[in-house]
Structure 1
Amino acid sequence: MIKLSEDLHIDIIVAHYPPYTSKWNPIEHRLFSQITRVWSGISFESVEQACELAAEARTKSGLCVFTNINRKKYDTSRCVDSNYDDVCQRHITFDEELPKWNYKVSWRDKKYQVIF
């Protein structure tokens, strides 16, 4: 996110819905109810079948689901770069009310920002 913010020269505000609050997340609420509808009563034979069925979810108001199976293999137990914490402290500002869920990624290094 820091690299993206720097490349675009914009600050990026990230706001997550905390766990167990998906009923207030309009995207999840609208999307998953339709996927559940098309999956109802199905015993899946494969991941591909689940993906194909989810892609069939549509509504009259225009909701259309696009699916993809990510087959990339991810490394586990990778070491974090030694300056990672320092870079994060210089570019990330956590929200005062919900710091665990919301933060701003700044493209400018805080060390060099002028405050008026």
Structure 2
Amino acid sequence: MEHRLFAHVTRACLGVTFHSVAIARKFMAMAMTNTTTGLKVTVDVLDAVYVKGKKVAADFLANMRIFFDEHLPCWNYLATPPAE
């Protein structure tokens, strides 16, 4: 996410407790904006249900470099193909 957008999203959701997806959708829609340099902000709520505990394919792990986030390594990581 572009760092210039954090202020817009924070301001739109300030003091709000998201008890439902509908409330989150309403307040995140308020964060949709354009920056002065022309960067357009949109927000989407994904309605998909994802399977927990799905194992990654062995060939994926063998062929990709995984970089884990320093602060939240279980949630945030980057998988990149090896440099050729």
Q: TM-score per shorter chain, which class?
A: 0.5 to 0.7
Greater C-alpha Rg: 1
Relative to total residues, which structure has the larger helix share, 1 or 2?
A: 1
Considering Cα pairs closer than 8 Å and 6+ residues apart, tell me whether 1 or 2 has the greater RCO.
1
Q: Shift of the alpha carbon at 1:42?
A: 5.3
Question: 1:51 is matched by which residue type in structure 2?
Answer: M
Distance in 2 (CA, whole Å) between partners of 1:48 and 1:103 is: 29
User: Scaled by the length of structure 1, what TM-score is found?
Assistant: 0.43
Cα pair 1:34 1:58 within 8 Å, conserved: no
User: Scaled by the length of structure 2, what TM-score is found?
Assistant: 0.54
5+ residue gaps, structure 1, are 1-24, 109-116
Greater shift in the superposed pair: 61-70 or 39-48: 39-48
Alignment partner of 1:74 is 2:50: yes
5+ residue gaps, structure 2, are 70-77
**RMSD of aligned residue pairs (Cα, Å):** 3.5
Q: 1:41 to 1:80 in 2, by over 3 A?
A: closer
What percent of counterpart residues are identical? 19
